[in-house]
Amino acid sequence: MDRTLVRDLTALRLANFDWTRQLRSIWRDPPYHVPSLHHALLDDLVEYFARKTLDRDPVDEPLGRLIVGPAGYGKTHLIGELRRRIWAMEGWFVLLDFVGVRDFWTSVALGFLNSLQVRMPDGRLQYDRLVLNLASLLAIDQEMMAIANRRRKQPQKLAAELTELFIRSLSRLYFQETGAHRDVIAALILLNSDDLDCHSVAHSWLQGMNLDATDAGPLGLLGENEPIKVVQGLSWIMSLVGPTLIAVDQIDAIVSASNSVASAADNGARQELQEAQSIVNALSEGLMDLHEKKRRAVTVVSCLEATWKVLQDKTTVAVTDRYGSPASLHALPSCNVVKELVAARLSQAYVASGFKPPYPTWPFTEAALESAVGFSPRELLKVCDEHRQSCVAQGKVMECESFRPGEQYADPSPQDTERFDQAYADELKTATVDGLMASEGENQLRDLLDAALRLIAKHFDLPDDIDVAVQRDPDQKRPALHGRLSFTLRSEGNREQHYCFLSLAHSNALVFQSRLKAAMTASGIDQSLKFRHLFILRRGDPPGGAKTKTLIEQFAKAGGKIIPPTDDDLRALVALRAMAERDLPGFDGWLRARKPLFQTACFKAAVRSLPLSEMQLCN
């Protein structure tokens, strides 16, 4: 093959036209940001935030803002850019992911906790910056460092002395508020402890859990706990050293579920209908109540227009007293915006490969880009990727003159199938899985599971009206989940199915309880909500103790399952990830034909719970 053609094709193959913005990407600055996309709305939101949060102790909390638009119009992209700008203004950013909402305030508390544990561009956690800024406000920086140096090898005493220092110092300036939020302040400081028990107790407390007095009392957590008190306490503490933007996302799923189930209520789904509608009612009231509980914060809700209409109709209070008028997102308005979006995705690949294209959007011509005006950003990226895949499959780059509906690719030939079968067998022989299921191997297994879920999504041959997405939680110190596989059935009112995964190898009972509870909250599993699933990957029995036993019983009753992956399972994951990284033409077709992950013990349980007839699996 001509070397020029190989070079051109290699450059195009590197282009990333992934059309789904994951929640994880909200926390990262994308390498392909397009400033002109929704720029007027972004500027308006940032100006409103800056103006309305100047006062550290405002008499009235600013109204929330509402962003509505169809799926694929860039709501998640906009939230990510808001996060970047708020951080640049030294503000706090809290993401409330309600995809698994079951109890409103429990989900909000977990959202605050998870957001504080996200790493910022300078490498520090939001939590670290909060504690350091608070120490600076209280003028206790030097005293804090002296205690840290003196108690360096005594983590429990270090945590106790730092907690007492912060509470005493806050009491001098804010006596009443400190008294009201004393336990939240203590838990916040304890969260940074190197002592596993201290950290786990704090992590549980900041989720709103009530703990045994024998665990919480010695650490100074003395009162009754509940999630709404945690949210109020954290919001007040954060308000002292900066304003907060609270982004509410992923609320469409439960509202769509309540509508979809309602249409099938006469077919035995009444219990699920009642539970889903109960959650929607609580979500509606909770979003209104959040306005009263937050401090020095602006809430920004993004959802479908139909979702907001449902929530509006459910609430008993005046929505206009808490949220402004909706701002709508629109389709790509001009060829220039289309060009910017495509060129941004291509430029990174071309620079990385040292390739200079004939024009910035090559191989997508002006005529093709003109035909995409009026598309959603998601539609544009999908058709661009379809053309990229077509070029890769044919072994040459072809200029795209206009965008056509997605092409169907043929199944791999017997020769290709044989070639991939052999490659898979070779990778299995060299796959290394030592230590992956130990608690120390959590980060490596987390990356492996993320890759596996992306591959399992390619095992399906889905019709155009079913979307599949893989979400990985942000890079947190203690993520609530390690991955989520979601299906959206557009023809059924955007009904969704969710399959959540967490590797949990810890033998410490407090750590196990804290992590399992967070996973149950994030996934929202419930016996009545059959569209939500949670799988815990673990070998061996869980830790002992009455509290752990009760939590596991609740987990099982809600439909959760514990799956023990075998070494053969892990080798399959490692082997398939290695094959995927080579980006060989025909690999996706081989995955659909062979479905290798469906043969692993750790995914068989998950596959059995999939609505296979709806997913239209190929045999």
Residue 426 lies in a domain: no
Measured between alpha carbons, how far apart are the two ends of the chain, in Å?
35
Strands 64-68 and 297-303: parallel
Residue 616 lies in a domain: no
User: Helix, strand, or coil here: 529?
Assistant: strand
Residues 216 and 254 in one domain: no
C-alpha 97/C-alpha 95 separation (Å) is: 6
Instruction: Give the Å distances, CA to CA, from 156 to 43, 129, 166, 203, 249.
Output: 46, 22, 16, 15, 37
Residues 321 and 358 in one domain: no
Residues 596 and 553 in one domain: yes
C-alpha 585/C-alpha 26 separation (Å) is: 31
Residues 228 and 263 in one domain: no
Residues 462 and 593 in one domain: yes
Number of domains in the chain: 4
Residues 227 and 203 in one domain: yes
Residues 571 and 598 in one domain: yes
At 130 the pLDDT is 97
C-alpha 534/C-alpha 527 separation (Å) is: 12
C-alpha 261/C-alpha 272 separation (Å) is: 7
Instruction: Give the Å distances, CA to CA, from 301 to 69, 93, 94, 247.
Output: 11, 13, 12, 6
At 421 the pLDDT is 94
**Which conformational region is residue 395 in: left (phi greater than 0), alpha (psi within -120 to 50 degrees), or beta?**
left
122: number of Cβ within 10 Å: 8
According to DSSP, the residues that pair with 245 across neighbouring strands are: 93, 298
Residue 421 lies in a domain: no
Exposure string (b/e) for 140-151, b if CB count within 10 Å is 16 or more? Answer: beeebeebeeeb
C-alpha 91/C-alpha 241 separation (Å) is: 8
At 617 the pLDDT is 45
Strands 495-503 and 483-489: antiparallel
Q: Are 197 and 508 in contact (CB under 8 A)?
A: yes
Choose the most confident range, by mean pLDDT, from 41-55, 268-282, 381-395, 406-420: 41-55
Residue 201 lies in a domain: yes
Angle separating helix axes 227-241 and 270-293, nearest 10 degrees: 30
| Per-residue pLDDT tens digits for 189-226 | 999 998 999 999 999 999 999 998 899 999 989 889 99
Q: How confident is the model at residue 465 (pLDDT cuts 50, 70, 90)?
A: confident
Residue 419 lies in a domain: no
Q: Are 516 and 550 in contact (CB under 8 A)?
A: no
Q: Which helix (H) or strand (E) holds 262?
A: helix 252-263
At 164 the pLDDT is 95
| Per-residue pLDDT tens digits for 284-325 | 999 999 999 999 999 999 999 989 998 888 887 888 889 999
Residues 452 and 566 in one domain: yes
Tokens of 71: 């799926």
Residues 446 and 540 in one domain: yes
| Per-residue pLDDT tens digits for 144-174 | 999 989 988 888 889 899 999 999 999 999 9
C-alpha 563/C-alpha 549 separation (Å) is: 17
Name the residue among 56, 96, 299 with its Cα closest to residue 177: 56
At 265 the pLDDT is 46
According to DSSP, the residues that pair with 400 across neighbouring strands are: 364
User: Helix, strand, or coil here: 614?
Assistant: helix
Residues 260 and 321 in one domain: yes
- Indicate the pTM of the whole model: 0.89
410: number of Cβ within 10 Å: 9
Of 309, 328, 347, the position where a domain reaches its end is 328
| Per-residue pLDDT tens digits for 414-441 | 778 899 999 999 999 999 999 989 888 8
Residues 557 and 464 in one domain: yes
**Which conformational region is residue 540 in: left (phi greater than 0), alpha (psi within -120 to 50 degrees), or beta?**
left
Residue 28 lies in a domain: no
**φ, ψ of residue 503 in degrees (nearest 5):** -90, 125
Alpha helices in 315-365 (DSSP H): 335-353
Residue % of the chain over a pLDDT of 90: 57
Residue 422 lies in a domain: no
According to DSSP, the residues that pair with 97 across neighbouring strands are: 249
Residues spanned by the domain of 361: 3-17+332-394
